[in-house]
Structure 1
Amino acid sequence: MSQAIKAETGRAARPLAGLIPDPGKIHRLSALLTLLLLIVGFSLASPAFLSVSNSLTVLLQTSVIGLLGIGMTMVIITGGIDLSVGSVLALSGVGTAMAVKAGVPVGPAMGLGVAIGAFCGAINGLVVTKARIPPFVATLGMMLMARGLALQLTGAAPISQLGEAFGRLGNGALFRVVEMQPNGFPKVIFPGVPYPAILLLIVAAGAACLLRYRQVGRHIYATGSNEEAARLSGVRVDRTKIYAYVMSGALAGLAGNVLMSRLVTAQPSEGVMYELDAIAAAVIGGASLSGGVGTVSGTMIGAFIIGILRNGLNMAGVSAFIQQIVIGAVVIAAVWIDQLRNRR
């Protein structure tokens, strides 16, 4: 009898499930609509907003937020948080610059920077899973330690004169067209697609495939949805959490390389408050702070909303303080919508 009821319930539930809209998808669509409205509004306010040079500026500004946001999304899906990504970004960039100054080629030096970020993420994951310290406290401690170490290693002074090769990742572009003029000076015909934007696209595609098609991605979602049920189902919850934190740290290290390469100088004070931008990008894009919900595509939309909002407000002459107020209000609204979704 009970089996018949279960079977009948299953048959009834399946067609109904197709009629119920996916809240996560609705959230992403609303974020995408918001992004389009911002583009239209700022374009009407300033004709220069849609210019090629300004569009490339937005891409460059968003690339760092996007890289941090992808790693943050993985951590948030597991039900955690990573407040250390801004400081890890600075420490990784400083580590890369010090290696370059010591004579290490730029490629291996940047690999070292990513490894430093991954190591910091591994420490976060071990502290959260083995010491059972809440993620907020564990990553807050790492935020302070990584920032202090970056300042200590450099004496709070920037590391400069890193060479042209160091700045290629942050300032180079694909398909750049330059024409030499009769006077001997070069003229840029097409500035090309910035390397950071291409790197962001590659990382986003890889992370999206990992979360959607790989076993570890399914385990990340399962851990955030119901940790105890995931453990009983055979998911190695601790290992999955550590993996998410390692990815967040590694992407923070990669973002540090991109940012320091753009500046062609390693600044130990860079990355302050970047963790909040990363969290904002993930939450605006539909990631739930309760865990179990989030997508890379949504985070990319959220990152571009923040980047375009900052860029458009700058062009409108709005002060940086007002910008913080506006972005803070947007984050609160996104979290409120997430809470309404969870209640339903």
Structure 2
Amino acid sequence: MADITSGKPQEPIQSRQPPPGRGLSDRQKDIIQKFAALGSLVILAAVFATTSSAFLTVNNGMTIALQVTSIALLGIGATYVIITGGIDLSVGSVLALAGVVAALAVRDLGTPIWLGMLIGILTGSACGLINAFVITRLKLPPFIATLGMMLIARGVALQITGARAVSGLGEAFGVLGNGSLFRIESIDDQGFPVVSFPGIPYPVVLMIVIAIAAGFLLNRTVLGRHIYAIGSNADAARLSGVNVTRVTAFTYLVSGTLAGLTGCVLMSRLVTAQPNEGVAYELDAIASAVIGGTSLIGGVGTISGTFIGAFVIGILRNGLNMNGVSAFIQQIIIGLVILVTVWIDQIRNRR
């Protein structure tokens, strides 16, 4: 094929790729980062298994999975947003607002529990859409826009509850957060229940289903490819026909919706809605995404990596608790993990 301007033969596209061994593609880098996170997960599990005999029990495994659900659900939303080159600092406050709205709808308005939960989830969606509008239409930086929403959502949650917990929700409100699938129990000779298998908690089932759906959308659909394209180069994506405004808005909608869902699940677990719940959860969400290989400059990341990152944080906290490490030291350790992970990400991007 000849070049139109010079008449010289045009070099085949394949030959323009870097020779083998001189560089790694984004996919190869992502795989390396994912396996590094998985290796860290295995090492942590092995270390804590040697320091505590209760660590590798079925009950503790289910406890870890249940504790990880909030981090993973918020982390999935954070992954979508970060891949586009954005950030969402509001999910912790949106989580609290959605949870108290759902609880107030059930207790004060007498709505069915499923409808109250739906109202809570839609509250999170509305916050995500507001973030999207401020970022895409008013052109505010994502950091500032979502920081503002973080303060607004928390303030509204405290205002509508009078800064008090919403209680008196009834046992049925706790089914979503405390129920389990495939639970096996029997009655002993004294008439007391004996649990043979605690079952898979409903939040864990929900987390797995949403992770599979989110991963499929991101990797197997045109919308997913557009999300990656925006993070790699928004201007080039726009020139290629991608509706950057709508796709970006979609990622913030996903983040807000998942924050609303997480709020409902968390308040259901507590059977009480706390307006102060979810403080600093946005940091765990971002950390799980980054540990799993999502790049803070955008364009790189996977749901499976975030899933692994969430379990790294969950196992780290669980193991430290079992070994009697104070909450303050835990914060220091997790903070150091985040710093080291971001530093590695920066080195990877420079290379």
CA RMSD of aligned residues (A): 1.5
For residues 194 and 171 of structure 2, the distance between their equivalents in structure 1, rounded to whole angstroms, comes to: 20
Which residue identity is paired with 1:120?
C
Residue of structure 1 equivalent to 2:271: 264
> 1:216 Cα shift?
1.3
Residue of structure 2 equivalent to 1:329: 336
Residue of structure 2 equivalent to 1:191: 198
For residues 17 and 100 of structure 1, the distance between their equivalents in structure 2, rounded to whole angstroms, comes to: 60
Residue of structure 2 equivalent to 1:206: 213
> 1:18 Cα shift?
11
Is it true that 1:121 corresponds to 2:128 in the alignment?
yes
Of 181-190 and 33-42, the range deviating more from structure 2: 181-190
Secondary structure of the structure 1 residue equivalent to 2:196: strand
Unaligned residue ranges in structure 1 (runs of 5+) = none
Residue of structure 1 equivalent to 2:9: 4
> 1:20 Cα shift?
3.8
For residues 13 and 130 of structure 1, the distance between their equivalents in structure 2, rounded to whole angstroms, comes to: 38
Residue of structure 2 equivalent to 1:217: 224
Residue of structure 1 equivalent to 2:71: 65
Q: 1:55 aligns with which of 50, 54, 61?
A: 61
Between the aligned residues of both structures, percent identity stands at: 59
Which residue identity is paired with 2:345?
D
Secondary structure of the structure 2 residue equivalent to 1:189: strand
Secondary structure of the structure 2 residue equivalent to 1:82: coil
For residues 296 and 145 of structure 1, the distance between their equivalents in structure 2, rounded to whole angstroms, comes to: 29
Q: 1:313 aligns with which of 320, 325, 330?
A: 320
Aligned pairs (5 A) from 1:68-83: 68-83=74-89
Which residue identity is paired with 1:64?
S
Secondary structure of the structure 2 residue equivalent to 1:183: coil
Which residue identity is paired with 1:97?
A
> 1:55 Cα shift?
0.9
Q: 2:35 aligns with which of 29, 34, 50?
A: 29
Once the two structures are superposed, residues 31-85 of structure 1 have per-residue CA deviations (whole angstroms, 9 ceiling, x without a partner) of 0000000000100111100111111110110001000000000000010000000
> 1:284 Cα shift?
0.5
Specify whether residues 262 and 12 from structure 1 end up closer, same or farther in structure 2 by C-alpha distance, changes over 3 A only.
same
Specify whether residues 257 and 15 from structure 1 end up closer, same or farther in structure 2 by C-alpha distance, changes over 3 A only.
same
Which residue identity is paired with 2:57?
S
Specify whether residues 314 and 238 from structure 1 end up closer, same or farther in structure 2 by C-alpha distance, changes over 3 A only.
same
Secondary structure of the structure 2 residue equivalent to 1:16: coil
Secondary structure of the structure 1 residue equivalent to 2:308: helix
Which residue identity is paired with 2:65?
L
Is it true that 1:112 corresponds to 2:116 in the alignment?
no
> 1:14 Cα shift?
7.8
Once the two structures are superposed, residues 308-329 of structure 1 have per-residue CA deviations (whole angstroms, 9 ceiling, x without a partner) of 0000001111111111111111
Residue of structure 1 equivalent to 2:170: 163
Secondary structure of the structure 2 residue equivalent to 1:49: coil
Q: 2:92 aligns with which of 57, 73, 86?
A: 86
Secondary structure of the structure 2 residue equivalent to 1:42: helix
Secondary structure of the structure 2 residue equivalent to 1:187: strand
For residues 16 and 299 of structure 2, the distance between their equivalents in structure 1, rounded to whole angstroms, comes to: 26
Once the two structures are superposed, residues 281-336 of structure 1 have per-residue CA deviations (whole angstroms, 9 ceiling, x without a partner) of 00000001101111000000000000000000011111111111111111111111
Residue of structure 2 equivalent to 1:276: 283
Aligned pairs (5 A) from 1:12-27: 13=17, 16=20, 20=24, 22-27=28-33
Which residue identity is paired with 2:100?
V
The alignment's TM-score, normalised by the length of structure 1, stands at: 0.97
Secondary structure of the structure 2 residue equivalent to 1:142: helix
For residues 124 and 134 of structure 2, the distance between their equivalents in structure 1, rounded to whole angstroms, comes to: 16
> 1:129 Cα shift?
0.7
For residues 243 and 17 of structure 1, the distance between their equivalents in structure 2, rounded to whole angstroms, comes to: 38
> 1:28 Cα shift?
0.6
> 1:12 Cα shift?
6.2
> 1:108 Cα shift?
1.3
Secondary structure of the structure 2 residue equivalent to 1:156: coil
Of 183-192 and 84-93, the range deviating more from structure 2: 183-192
- Residues matched between the structures, number: 343
> 1:17 Cα shift?
8.4
Secondary structure of the structure 1 residue equivalent to 2:274: coil
For residues 55 and 229 of structure 1, the distance between their equivalents in structure 2, rounded to whole angstroms, comes to: 45
Residue of structure 2 equivalent to 1:45: 51
